[in-house]
Amino acid sequence: MTILITGGAGFIGSHLVRHLVKTYPHYTIVNLDALTYAANLARLDDVKDAPNYQFVEGNINDSSVVENVFQSHSIDAVIHLAAESHVDRSIEGPMPFANTNIIGTMTLLNACRTHWGKESNHRFYHISTDEVYGSLGKEGVFTEQSPYQPRSPYAASKASADHMVRAYGETYGLPYVISNCSNNYGPDQHSEKLIPTLIHSLQQNKALPIYGDGSNIRDWLYVEDHIAAMDLIFHKGVLGETYLIGGRCERSNLAVATSICRAYDTHTGQADGTAEKLITFVPDRPGHDYRYAIDPHKLESTLGWSPQTNWEVGIQKTISSYLDKI
């Protein structure tokens, strides 16, 4: 089987590529990535020379690039992660999000339709986000039946891509499966995200910026737990279905910062409470969703997945991965 992974030099994508290359040596893994600012091929140095791995630099918006990949590599399946994914950047400039997340997804879907026809032995696995469901109050959780209510340009672009994948499935018989995940964290995440931002600021003894009063809540998922879920969904997920992947680990942004500060103090041997003094509240961003929380019961009950990495262990692993690079 030859699997095309888009965005394989990104944070989640690189973890997935490494996992598939090492776990399934009989698969050929083709990594298509445009190598924009958040990508880093160095993340894959340990598999770059593997006989079952190939890298192609190119943009999913470019139909000629995508067509060439499908023709040259006889793609059997696609795992689509390539996306613009930073909410703040989408607020500052939404067009790149529409171009990559919507048009890029359609370019891939069209290639699949052209090369696969109505053959059922293929699979388009689309990776999405819980942000498509909007914002929760203090109660409730997202499920696969939750209505779409995106509130940022990023979330709207991902919601559009989700709908387009389903539309190609209904209209053209494209064999697809979708998953929506909660906030990922772990080693090698780009510095624009919350947890790496806090760790890098601590390393430089700079203020730790927290939006508003820090009460906004996210459900945190360790990246390796996400990869395990994706493996199951790709191989055993029912075509036409959607699966939500959550860590069952709700934390406010302030609680996240406090946990990181305490773990950092312990890791570096400095006095307890030293890092927390750097926490600084900054003006909230426009349309900041209050709370996300996923109920992954469907995935747990049908495919047997559950998150294996608790918050304390995951944060220690994450901090260690950054500090070990100094």
Q: Which of 130, 162, 188, 224 is catalytic?
A: 130
Residue 99 is given by DSSP the state I
The H or E element containing residue 54 is: strand 53-57
Examine the residue annotation and report whether 243 is marked as an active-site residue of this protein. no
d(CA 146, CA 132): 10
- Concatenated DSSP letters for 149-209? ---SHHHHHHHHHHHHHHHHHHHH---EEEEEE-EEE-TT--TTSHHHHHHHHHHTT--EE
What would the two tokens of residue 35 be? Answer: 């190598």
239-274 burial, b at 16+ Cβ within 10 Å, e below that, comes to eeebbbbbbbbbbbbbebbbbbbbbbbebeeeeeee
Closest CA to 100 of 170, 167, 32: 32
Q: Which of 53, 125, 133, 154 is catalytic?
A: 154
Catalytic residue chosen out of the listed positions 131, 162, 224, 225: 131
The question of whether 265 is a catalytic residue gets the answer: no
Q: Is 131 a catalytic residue?
A: yes
Picking from 18, 79, 80, the residue whose alpha carbon sits closest to that of residue 43 is 18
Residues annotated as catalytic (active site), given as ranges? 130-131, 154
